[in-house]
């Protein structure tokens, strides 16, 4: 294994302490499967190792963390051209089938703010990552909307971002938070030009100078999961949380519908929580065996 190159790649997204843990997890995975087999592994090849971890470690958090490490290893192989697809990108520990919206998985506004407070090793990574996370936390963009943004969609003078129409959602122009305007200015005029390898109209580029992908955003969000190890943190649950929080704060249903780009009020209505539903969510969150 090219440990030095893998370490450098991981340090773009993680602290040195986290990278040390990830490298250890990856080393054990390669010893179990063999490096040659691991490089070409399929989903079915990875599953026996997860089963082995479940038997070895009673704490599911340990197993989940190891899965994150293995995912990072395959993202590195893809980024360096050593393989094409990710064998376990969507592999998560699930002991029961998830419902479309799990109320106990929703996050408060204060919890979502924690995603914007992480320190990064490199300033360019910090600015880029905060732009991405802020668009999830403040504008509740869907993954496809996020990676589809173009530089012309951002109007810093007006403090807005335009989100184009998709087959399932309406177009809309959303206000940026004041602190986002300064953040976006730094990204667009300072960070993005330094990262860019080839000209592109798309707003988001990764640290290798290429257009940011949905996989890249998913991986970034996954790196925050240690903050909420027992909960389902992903771009979808972040969006669901923002919409539910707006309704809970008393925002008019039609305002939230327009904000989200929903074509039907019923789509927005499902994010409204009754008092009974909130109570059930609290019970599920703090008393999972009830």
* Digit-coded pLDDT (tens) for 107-164: 999 999 999 998 887 888 899 999 999 999 999 999 889 999 999 999 999 999 999 9
Distance of CA 277 to the CA centre of its chain: 26
Residues 249-273 have pLDDT tens digits of: 999 999 999 999 998 898 888 887 6
SS3 96: coil
d(Cα 214, Cα 145) in Å, to the nearest integer? 10
Q: Using alpha carbons only, how large is the chain's radius of gyration in Å? A: 20
- CB within 8 Å of 199: residues ≥ 6 apart: none
Q: Last residue of some domain: 79, 95, 121?
A: 79
**Same structural domain for residues 143 and 10?**
no
Distance (Å, whole) CA 145 – CA 168? 11
The sign of the dihedral angle between the CA atoms of 126, 128, 133, 135 is positive
pLDDT surpassing 80 at residue 13: no
Q: Residue 198 contacts by C-beta under 8 Å, 6 or more apart in sequence?
A: 209, 210
**Would residue 288 count as lying in a domain?**
no
- For residues 121 and 75, membership in a common domain is answered with no
At residue 121, the 3 state secondary structure works out as coil
Burial class (CB in 10 A: 0-12, 13-18, 19+), 162: middle
Number of domains in the chain: 2
190 and 261 assigned to the same domain: yes
Q: What's the pLDDT band for 287 if we cut at 50, 70, 90?
A: very low
179 lies in which domain range?
103-277
> How far is the CA of 201 from the CAs of 70, 102, 128, in angstroms?
33, 36, 16
Name the band, by pLDDT with cuts 50, 70 and 90, for residue 96.
very low
**Does the pLDDT of residue 241 top 90, yes or no?**
yes
The CATH number linked to 135 is: 1.10.443.10
């Amino acid at each position: 294994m090219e440990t030095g190159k893998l370490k450098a790649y991981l340090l773009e997204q993680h602290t040195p302490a986290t990278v040390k843990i990830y490298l250890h997890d990856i080393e054990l995975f390669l010893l179990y499967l063999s490096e040659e087999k691991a490089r070409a592994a399929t989903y079915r090849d990875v599953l026996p190792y997860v089963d082995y971890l479940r038997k070895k470690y009673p704490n599911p958090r340990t197993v989940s963390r190891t899965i994150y490490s293995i995912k990072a290893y395959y993202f590195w192989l893809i980024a360096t051209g050593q393989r094409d697809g990710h064998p376990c990108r969507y592999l998560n520990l699930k002991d029961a089938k998830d419902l479309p919206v799990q109320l106990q998985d929703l996050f408060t506004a204060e919890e979502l703010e924690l995603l914007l407070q992480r320190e990064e090793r490199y300033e360019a990574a910090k600015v880029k990552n905060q732009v991405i996370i802020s668009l999830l936390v403040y504008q509740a963009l869907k993954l496809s909307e996020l990676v589809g943004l173009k530089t012309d969609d951002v109007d810093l003078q007006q403090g807005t971002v335009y989100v184009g129409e998709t087959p399932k959602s309406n177009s809309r122009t959303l206000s940026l938070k004041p602190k986002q305007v300064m953040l976006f200015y730094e990204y667009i005029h300072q960070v993005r030009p330094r990262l860019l390898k080839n000209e592109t109209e798309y707003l988001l580029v990764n640290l290798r100078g290429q257009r940011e992908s949905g996989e890249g955003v998913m991986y970034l969000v996954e790196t925050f999961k240690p903050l909420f190890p027992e909960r389902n943190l992903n771009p979808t649950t972040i969006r669901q949380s923002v919409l539910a929080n707006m309704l809970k704060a008393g925002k008019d249903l039609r305002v939230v519908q327009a904000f989200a780009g929903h074509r039907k009020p019923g789509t927005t209505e499902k994010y409204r929580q009754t008092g009974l539903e909130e109570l059930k969510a609290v019970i599920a969150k703090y008393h999972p065996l009830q």
